Chain A
Amino acid sequence: MSEMTDDTIRAEARAWLEENWNTDLGLVEWRGKLIESGWGAPTWPTAWYGKGFSDAQGRIVEEEFERIGAVSVARTGIRNLAAATILAHGTNLHKEKFLRRILTGEDTWCQLFSEPGSGSDLAGATTRADKKGNKWIVNGQKVWTTSAHHAQYGLLLARTDWDLPKHKGLSYFIIDIEQPGVEVVPLRQMNGHASFNQVFFTDAEIEPEFQVSELGDGWSVATTTLMHERRGADGLRRWQKASDRTGRCYTEEAEEIAHQLEPYKWYPQRAGRVDLVIDRAKETGKNTDPSVRQEIAKLMIMAKSAEWTARRARAAQEQGQPQGPGGSIGKLTSSNVAKQAAHVHTMITGADAMLTGEDSPMEGVIAEILVSFPATSIAGGTDEIQRNIISERVLKMPKEPRTDTSMPFREVPRNVVS
């Protein structure tokens, strides 16, 4: 957290933007300027493209970006998790090589954690990395890997020791996806989009310097990535929207959104689009139906309280206090909000809720909510797993007895997968 007052931050950000923001710059060139100045990622440490600001201070800067309409650094997707993990556990080499291109948007990242046999039980990963000569050789399969089809790099959790208990035999790597040993096969989702993939490794190679942290530390590094993922799921992050303004930088950003982000255009819908509810109710006249009004009110109470809970958690963290329960309940709450929002949208939409695409309201946006919201309860750790985390870690309730954590991993019963 910087010692600067909020007013000084606002004034400095505004002055810098007014002097430097230029719609005619190329997207990467402009982002390069942002990165050099520290205004692109002000919450990052000063040593690495940031200003060491708190989240609250960062939001002031964001407001200034919005005020002037300036394009920001690349912020969507797994890149945030990659950056957070590298900042926390990476070597200087990792930071040099990767952070800048994450912010410029030149590199896309993916998270190679889940496998066919291990999703909730992430520590049950069976993708293996074996040291051969001076290199790590990777074999196995990952699944549900968002972005892998256009990513350059992946955050890989792989087993390096099969005789240790499951959590102890894992290591964490950064892997170059664009190599012959990696095959990416897109998977279609129930909403028709294909934003996640199967990833197959056949003797894929990793240079030893792209191991993150120590051998056998994979689980604790993965936990950092997951914490950031959970935190990102609290609904406070905004979705990147194309601007209709003209200028090279806007055009290039719009292209980035249209192409790179195309598979993710359903992401706002999966969260339930609470923002649309009241307008839709008025438009359809359903705002006069008492039963609909009640359900909308329930949703808004839930969504507003969830937002303030997330803000409380962040504020506590920024003041150096323990996060409190708020930090862990955000993800579960967002699942509840998404579910109730889908229910409310159905009520509001009536018969049109049976239709999709051009035949349905908002060119299919409402229909997309209705077939996307279940993802919120699964991605980034299921609702059941979140409840286990809340009860066992936050409330310190006794853990379920476990048999799989103490024995050598090769002896643990697991799925027979093809």
Chain B
Amino acid sequence: MSTKNKFGALGVFAVSYLAFVYIPVLFLPLFSFNDSIYVAFPLKGFTMQWYYEAFQSDGLMSSLKNSFKVGVPVAILSTALGTLAAKAVTRYRMPGKAPVMSFIMTPLVVPGIIVGVALLIIANMIGVTLSLFTIAIAHVPMCAAFSMWIMISRLEGFDKSMEEASFDLGEGAWMTFWRVTFPLILPGIIASLLLTFTISFDEFILASFLGGSEPTLPVYMWSQLRFPNTLPRVLALGAMILVVSFVLVYFAEWFRRRGTQIKTSSGV
């Protein structure tokens, strides 16, 4: 009886929570199909025009390309760095592990605006021109921290005697990584690639501080909000990003889970 009540309360909470998070977001796709440049009720009619315009807009398309140009290398580099760092902290006994760990994790908690300003000052000091490259440089530490966080749980999840067994059977460090460690952490690596890409893709503050004349997609979208007649196509693009982000995160989580299952079913 009491558990039923509790479940009821919890259910109400869960539903209102999801409503609170997702209903505002759902206005984006809703208005992106609305046949009016004014974002207001009542809805006028269904149209694909904004999507068509979005793909026709040079500014929008080039900023989308910019986002990919930053996101893909950042995802690869930060996942590589995060994996190596995670391997170091989980596999080797080293002095000062705890401070090093928190040092690497710091970018996750320092407000982006502070990092952005600091990097901007440094870039000015050493005279680097702001470009997609500077955005990527700024994204890597943050994404690497995320990646490391994913990879640590992945590496801690499997018995390190598996790597020792490989050595024992005659393989060196590199072949052991290739034949044992890599396949076992692959789900984690894929999850990390998808997640770090999404983070870099969605990141606004650093990109707007360090992008110079090359806006990434979020920066471009923000700049377009001032012009009412381009707003609907921003909504259309936003709706598409929403779907793509959702799919990516869903897959990232799916890969992470799949890895966990392999781990548990192999436990003694």
Partners in one complex: no
Query: Which positions in A face B, CB cutoff 8 Å?
Result: none
Chain B residues with a Cβ under 8 A of chain A:
none
